[in-house]
Structure 1
């Protein structure tokens, strides 16, 4: 059981996956919100039924699975519908993450939530004991995003602008790791954080 939970967040293409791998290398359980979100809308899950009840059967494929492209098309550019979708899914995702983190083996667990800032921050995640932000300059994010996804500069800018700003994320941070592309630096930073978190978790456990 993990009595201490770290929230991990960062902007798109900031290096969250690299940080996740580094924590896993220290035998720390990382619960990924993106994976939980995909599981939440599998056939038979209450979240999928709620989505279909609001958006209709047009967001389903012939096999009964969620048609993600169709759903994206419905909410893209429509803030009201996007908020409805988030209201249906985010509470379920957050609660599942909390349960998995609390039941994880080890001194502490990490909840990787890319949209932690956009999703309400500490007010929506009161069970987080600490928040770690992986940060990268916007120009670096843009270059990585264009290379990773094979997109042009305009789309990369729009994707970055759709998220919270660096300043908003950093305002939530208890800890910050700067990801400038140096893997050795990331690994050293995570090793130091791992040692610190184990001490903090032990102190909380008494």
Structure 2
């Protein structure tokens, strides 16, 4: 589960109404599929949704995540739910943010609880890499340090996003020139993005998400 949640923590640049389909691979084995949907709203804020459907052993799982950021890359709202076979919700978390930190509502089965996770007001939480290749064109070596709220650990984590430059990768048997963005923190992840900021390839530990080319 932690591998999947680390992918959900990545910021990806949005274009209005865009969606891509991706395969989910762990250790070279395809376990399922994912969709990434992104929108930019009229006020300049960004909406990002992941839906991941995969099988581990005999268990099928669906994980859905929604993130909303303001025009400067600061988090407004995060939502995550895990669904087990039969469509039963296993866990749901809603996080909203104010100057004090994160405010959580957590549903575990039939149990509901609330929690507040503070973050000092001087800590950077505006992640401008959310708008790379959409509004802003980073230069090779550009970095953004920001505190990101982890919906798995329910803690703030300092992450650094770095634009490494362009790199040739292979998708569907074709060579693609992609923008490489590396995110480091508690877990390292590398995303290879197209000219609109949508992912061609995401790698984190033994997990890989690879775009499924349109036919």
TM-score (norm 1): 0.29
Higher share of residues assigned helix: 1
RCO comparison, higher one (Cα < 8 Å, 6+): 1
Higher share of residues assigned strand: 2
Q: Which has the larger radius of gyration?
A: 1
